[in-house]
Amino acid sequence: SSELTQGPPVSVALGQTARITCQGDSLRSYYANWYQQKPGQAPVLVIYNENNRPSGIPDRFSASSSGNTASLTITGAQAEDEADYYCNSRDNTGSHPDWLFGGGTKLTVL
């Protein structure tokens, strides 16, 4: 199966824009999803099917994709956005469809 690669930790000043990237061949065929995970909690879906926000997710969260790279953007980052962020997509390189997760990116809000 293939894999999803996320970049190094990201630091952003309060109110500024943070961008987190995710690369993988599966992203050429499947949309990326993004999850936020705070310490000791379960992941929470923040973006699905490339750039859709579930109910309750602030509109400062957005995403885009091009080729094999997906990006999550947080415009006007808030202190409560400090968390680990994971990208995810389906994968069809094996004998049956399964799931991939990126290794995660830690976002620090300064």
Partner 1 sequence: QVQLQESGPGLVKPSQTLSLTCSVSGISISSRDYHWNWIRQHPGKGLEWIGYISYTGRTYYSPSLESRLDISADTSKNQFSLKLTSVTAADTAVYFCARDEGYYFDHWGQGVLVTVSS
Question: Which residues of the chain form contacts with partner 1 (CB under 8 A)?
Answer: 1, 30-31, 33, 35, 41-45, 48-49, 54, 86, 88, 90, 94-104
Backbone angles phi, psi at 63, to 5 degrees: -150, 165
CB of 18 to partner 1, least distance (A): 19
C-alpha distances in angstroms, 35 versus 32, 42, 69, 84, 95? Answer: 10, 9, 16, 8, 26
Residue number with CB closer to partner 1 (80 or 98) = 98
Q: Which two tokens stand for residue 76?
A: 């006007």
CB of 40 to partner 1, least distance (A): 9
Residue number with CB closer to partner 1 (16 or 38) = 38
CB of 96 to partner 1, least distance (A): 5
Residue number with CB closer to partner 1 (64 or 76) = 64
CB of 84 to partner 1, least distance (A): 8
Using CA atoms, how far apart are residues 101 and 91, in angstroms rounded to an integer?
10
Half-sphere exposure of 27 (CA within 13 A, CB side): 25
